[in-house]
Amino acid sequence: MYLTRLRKIVTKNNDKDLFPCIEDLVKNGLNPVNFSNEASIPSRQDITQYIASWFKYIGLSADECREWMIEYCIGVLSAISSSSKSQIRHSTKSNIKYIYRSNATFNCGCENNQFKAVCETKCPVYEEMAHRSKENKAPTIDENYGIRSEYRVAYAIAPRSHSIKDEYKDQFEKAMTFAQHHLRQRVPKKDVVSLLNDNGFKTRTGKKWSYSILAIELKKRNRDSDIAEA
């Protein structure tokens, strides 16, 4: 159903734009069996950003992307997510908005794509993508977006002698760097809050992010910066 709808959208422009990897992900989703021997597997967010960047790459609008993507994420990608339908809908909108407002570019990685999706040398962009991957040493889609893998932290339990702030100190600094990066890309604060929570970041006290908390922390950081400069 989702592939049929997507094919109708794409063929309005060019039926060759439905690349093998995209068709595989849409038709089959992510197969966890392919990642049984690896420490981690790509998340719903990773696939959403990947396909959204493809929409942008082939010249389709954010509205066209959003209309199709939300239903796909809820119907297919919810299988690899613990989020509710409303949460998936909201974060999908945030991810699409980020991709279209940033300088993110589509870079599939060819046979080394992070989703282990089907790749064919007859793909119309195979040579371009292979060359791009070689130049960039095959970076992942997260690296292109500036959402680097080190931001997705596995939180270890700190010794009991440490305070809660000590426990979350390092990841909090990364969260603030992550937030400021997206704000510089003109992503609205409310969408940055969603991205922080979707990517597993916590506040300095280990809580979920909210608009008010982010505003307070940004104000505090700006004030500290002003003091340091003075």
Of the three residues 121, 145, 169, the one that is the final residue of a domain is 145
Query: Tokens for 140?
Result: 């992942």
What whole-number distance in Å separates Cα of residue 46 and Cα of residue 77? 11
Q: How would you class 207 by CB atoms within 10 Å of its CB: exposed for 0-12, middle for 13-18, buried for 19 or more?
A: exposed
Lowest mean pLDDT among 41-50, 53-62, 122-131, 217-226: 217-226
Q: How would you class 1 by CB atoms within 10 Å of its CB: exposed for 0-12, middle for 13-18, buried for 19 or more?
A: exposed
Domain identity same for 81 and 10: yes
Res 39: pLDDT: 59
Residues 71-90: tens digit of each pLDDT: 999 998 888 888 889 999 99
Domain identity same for 49 and 101: yes
- Please count the structural domains in the chain: 2
Query: Tokens for 147?
Result: 């959402």
Residue 189's Cβ-side half-sphere holds a number of Cα atoms within 13 Å equal to 11
Res 72: pLDDT: 93
For residue 116, what are the domain limits? 2-145
Domain identity same for 119 and 29: yes
Domain identity same for 130 and 183: no
Residues 90-123: tens digit of each pLDDT: 999 999 999 998 888 898 999 988 899 999 999 9
Q: Are 217 and 204 in contact (CB under 8 A)?
A: yes
